């Protein structure tokens, strides 16, 4: 499988050398010149998306978090320990500024307007835009540098890359792989984003819309013709309606979908969006095992 090996090779070649560099860009240059220990500049971070909250906790850097998005679910204690300052694409700048951040972490163009107000207020902003597994690992590298937790970031990346490689090795041993349709949204129908498509392949499946997965935005992943799913005949359907409960009966009731192998054989499954659609460690730690279980379920049933 190409993704597991490629990610580990890239980590060894380009990510690992970042650790230990004497002049990372996010450190206090005056301390470097003075020969003092390197200390992270950023001590009060506002996290506007869930994956940065999760990652900072995994790095042991939760003390730097000043406020979080209401969509943060990992770890569970984050909501008890940190004030909620925004939704995802919505929020009020005065609530964000109230926690006195010296850095705001955001994700994608969906938060562009929100962070624009923060920039005008003079706060430093870093906007991530990862859409692939490599991008997720790169995000972890950056956070490790921002909070002076490079060794912890390296350990986390090694663990995640190891899990990807193990999944790839297992998938390579499968005698047959199911065709998988992943539905991220239902009105309009949107297929899975890049890292989801890659995880499907690593889990041993074949993403039937892999040709659309790496489009730059969701509009490129809209499926205008519902019959296209019928024609591509998935063996497994996984629904993960971002922020909504998946309704398999509604999906199965679409005209003509009773002819789809996955619907006919009862393999229309749900994967919680918090486990797979957050572009951070949880997609690998929580989402990948569930995708593997779906593939295993199909394999056990011996559906041809």
Look at residue 177 in the predicted model and tell me its pLDDT.
96
Look at residue 35 in the predicted model and tell me its pLDDT.
52
For the chain, domain boundaries: 2-160, 175-301
Look at residue 6 in the predicted model and tell me its pLDDT.
56
Look at residue 89 in the predicted model and tell me its pLDDT.
72
Cβ pair 69, 52 in contact under 8 A: no
As a whole number of angstroms, the distance between CA 70 and CA 97 comes to 16
Please indicate whether the domains covering 2-160 and 175-301 agree at the CATH topology level.
yes
- Given this structure, which CATH class describes domain 175-301? alpha beta
Residue 157 has pLDDT above 60, yes or no: yes
Buried b or exposed e, range 93-106, using 16+ CB within 10 angstroms: beebbebebebbbb
Q: If pLDDT is split at 50, 70 and 90, which confidence band does 18 have? A: very low
Kindly provide the residue ranges of all beta strands, DSSP E only, lying in the chain, ordered along the sequence. 45-47, 65-69, 84-86, 103-107, 125-128, 179-186, 189-191, 206-207, 236-239, 268-270
As a whole number of angstroms, the distance between CA 88 and CA 58 comes to 21
Look at residue 7 in the predicted model and tell me its pLDDT.
53
Average pLDDT value for residue range 46-75? 96
User: Is the pTM value of this prediction over 0.75?
Assistant: yes
Summarised one tens digit per residue, pLDDT across range 209-266 is 999 999 988 999 999 999 999 999 999 999 999 878 999 999 999 999 999 999 999 9
As a whole number of angstroms, the distance between CA 45 and CA 65 comes to 5
Cβ pair 280, 55 in contact under 8 A: yes
Look at residue 41 in the predicted model and tell me its pLDDT.
55
As a whole number of angstroms, the distance between CA 272 and CA 34 comes to 50
H-helix or E-strand containing 141? Answer: helix 133-146
Q: If pLDDT is split at 50, 70 and 90, which confidence band does 165 have? A: very high
Q: If pLDDT is split at 50, 70 and 90, which confidence band does 1 have? A: very low
According to DSSP, the β-strands at 65-69 and 45-47 are: parallel
Q: If pLDDT is split at 50, 70 and 90, which confidence band does 136 have? A: very high
Look at residue 186 in the predicted model and tell me its pLDDT.
96
Average pLDDT value for residue range 63-74? 95
Percent of the chain with pLDDT over 90: 78
Burial class (CB in 10 A: 0-12, 13-18, 19+), 221: buried
Buried b or exposed e, range 2-38, using 16+ CB within 10 angstroms: ebbebbbebbeeebeebeeeeebebbeeeeeeeeeee
The fold adopted by the segment(s) 2-160 is Rossmann fold (3.40.50)
């Amino acid at each position: 499988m190409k993704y597991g090996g490629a990610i580990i090779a890239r980590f060894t070649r380009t990510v690992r050398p970042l650790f230990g560099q004497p002049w990372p860009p996010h450190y206090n240059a005056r301390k470097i010149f003075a020969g003092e220990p390197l200390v992270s500049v950023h001590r009060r971070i506002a996290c506007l998306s869930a994956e940065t909250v999760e990652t900072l906790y995994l790095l042991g850097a939760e003390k730097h978090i000043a406020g979080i998005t209401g969509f943060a679910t990992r770890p569970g204690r984050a909501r008890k320990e940190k004030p909620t300052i925004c939704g995802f694409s919505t929020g009020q700048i005065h609530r964000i500024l109230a926690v006195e951040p010296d850095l705001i972490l955001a994700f994608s163009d969906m938060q562009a307007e929100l962070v624009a107000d923060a920039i005008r207020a003079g706060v430093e902003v870093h906007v991530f835009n990862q859409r692939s597994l490599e991008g997720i690992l790169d995000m972890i590298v950056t956070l490790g540098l921002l909070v002076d937790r490079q060794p912890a970031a390296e350990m986390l990346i090694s663990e995640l890359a190891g899990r990807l490689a193990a999944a790839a090795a297992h998938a390579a041993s499968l005698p047959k792989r199911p065709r998988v349709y992943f539905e991220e949204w239902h009105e309009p129908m949107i297929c899975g984003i890049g890292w989801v498509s890659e995880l499907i392949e690593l889990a041993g499946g074949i993403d039937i819309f892999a040709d659309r997965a790496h489009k730059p935005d969701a509009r490129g992943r809209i499926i205008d013709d519902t019959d296209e799913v019928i024609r591509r005949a998935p063996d497994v359907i996984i629904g993960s309606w971002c922020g909504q409960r998946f309704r398999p009966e509604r999906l199965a009731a679409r005209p003509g979908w009773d002819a789809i192998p996955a619907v006919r054989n009862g393999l229309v499954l749900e994967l919680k969006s918090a486990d797979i659609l957050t572009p951070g460690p949880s997609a690998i730690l929580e989402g990948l095992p569930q995708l593997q279980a779906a593939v295993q379920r199909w394999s056990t049933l011996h559906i041809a």
